Amino acid sequence: METSPIEDRKLFEKLEELERKFIELEKKLGAPDISAQQRIRCSKERSELEDVVSVYARLKEVVDISNQSRELLDDRELAPLAREELNELSKERSELEERLRKLLLPKDPNIGKNVFLEIRAGAGGGEAALFAADLLRMYSRYCENRRWKVDTITINETGIGGIKELVVKIEGRDVYGKLRYESGVHRVQRIPSTEAGGRIHTSTATVAVLPEADEVDVEIDDKEIKVDTFRSSGPGGQHVNKTDSAIRITHLPTGIVVQCQDDRSQQKNRVHAMSMLRAKLYELEESKRVREISRTRKTQVGSGDRSEKIRTYNFPQGRITDHRIGLTLHKVEEVLRGDLDPLLEPLTSHFQAESLKNLSEN
């Protein structure tokens, strides 16, 4: 059973501190000698605190009224009204506490960002490449249902309909917020169409979800990159065979290599490749930060590490299991057709609860 934020000592102290800060900001905004720059900064801080402070204030009111109502339970005439009021207040208190928990969660600066989705075939040869293609279709259908825009940045296909590796850019509302927990190793267990003996094979594919980074998030020195051009491969007719429009960029300090060959314009491919490079460098710094937090807290922080096995798609039993939260659903076909919300929503709830727990403990 979750402890109420008002009963958790550390959360209570944090809420009291936020309330005091809110009051101080209102006093500053009312001061006649406040500068325009200070007013803008204070107004922004006040706006960020307003929701949590107002919900907290109402929660304290509900607790006080509830305590007063309990004192009337011994009164024979007023007890029925008191019980009715307590039921209503109890429901409101639960709703307020839930809102407060969400408002107290640390704000992820990447929530509103678009993403680069990277899928690579892992162990399993041709079957792994086919599974990578299945994952691409799964995410593409999910994006289509949410009316998100999907653009291919680069793709390396096999001759049998599989994919060795690909990168797509996904743009839309709350893209990172929905897909941020998809990074990791996805495992499939099924009988390949080429398996005459009916044996179950296990293959893997790696997924990485990288938030798009702005230039202000990551600065790249032109002296630290090497840019190569080459001829695009794949669909496109004779044009791709004659024009060196594809771009490969190597970041010399880290050795990170990105490439883009989707567009016929070399300039557009370069823009996409630089955007992808910024995303990878941003992810590198974020991973370092998360590892440091994990060491400090001595707890496992959900980092979306792509080396972590996160999910198994078992076709013979028709089940899909997310190993991080122990969730098993018997709807593997539906999920691969893009019905991801039954997985994504419990994951979001789980990691939100973990974040609040860490907030309370630290």
Amino acid sitting at position 205: A
pLDDT tens digits, 24-61 = 999 999 999 889 889 988 998 999 899 999 999 999 99
Mean pLDDT of the residues in the chain: 85
pLDDT tens digits, 151-210 = 998 899 988 889 999 999 999 999 999 999 999 999 999 988 766 567 889 999 999 999
Contact 338, 141 (CB under 8 A): yes
Token pair, residue 121, equals: 């075939």
pLDDT tens digits, 244-257 = 678 899 999 999 99
- pTM over cut 0.85: no
**DSSP at 223:** G
Q: Report, as an integer, the average pLDDT of 211-218.
A: 80
Angle at 193 between CA 161 and CA 338, to 5 degrees: 60
Amino acid sitting at position 68: Q
Long-range contact set of residues 211-214: C-beta below 8 Å, sequence gap at least 24: 211/110, 211/113, 211/114, 211/115, 211/176, 211/180, 211/279, 211/282, 211/283, 212/113, 212/114, 212/115, 212/116, 212/169, 212/275, 212/278, 212/279, 213/275, 213/278, 213/279, 213/281, 213/282, 214/278
pLDDT tens digits, 280-289 = 998 888 777 6
